[in-house]
Amino acid sequence: MNGLICGRCSAMAKDGVCPLCGKAKKLRTVREEDTVYLTSCEYIWTQTVEDLLRGEGIPYRRQALLGSGLITSIGETAELYRYYVGAADYERALAALPDFSVGMTEEELNDYIDNEFDQQPNDPQDGEQ
Ligand SMILES: [Zn+2]
């Protein structure tokens, strides 16, 4: 497998920059033993992604992103998960994923989540106030 990977985010570079941090500074040539960032998805999609990866026999690592600030108010469903696979499995894993996740940046996903939950009316039962 050829290409550049971000040494900080383990993401494959797109258009010469890391899609996660947006920088080219830490890019280096990907190595066979690298763990590569595959995709991010919402909690509701994790089962789908994991079934697909398991179906392909691809080992993966999942990391929950706790920094969105949305978790405390609306719960686990708004959490984003990052998936990582071995560099040797990367292209196969990418091909196995459905279109929803491929090419969607975390920024886009966050916007999507924001919009989705903005449309929900405030719960009048909320006793916190
Ligand atoms: Zn990066």
Domain count, the chain: 1
Specify the DSSP class assigned to residue 129.
-
- CATH code of the domain covering residue 43: 3.30.70
Supply the pTM of this predicted model.
Answer: 0.71
Centre of ligand 1 to C-alpha 53, Å, is 23
**Residues 89-118 pLDDT 10s:** 999 999 888 765 545 566 666 666 566 555
Centre of ligand 1 to C-alpha 32, Å, is 18
Entry field: residues in the chain: 129
Is residue 1 in some structural domain? no
Is residue 103 in some structural domain? yes
In Å, the largest CA–CA distance within the chain is 55
Centre of ligand 1 to C-alpha 83, Å, is 15
Domain containing 111: what range? 35-118
**Residues 20-36 pLDDT 10s:** 899 999 999 999 999 99
Centre of ligand 1 to C-alpha 24, Å, is 8
Centre of ligand 1 to C-alpha 129, Å, is 40
Is residue 3 in some structural domain? no
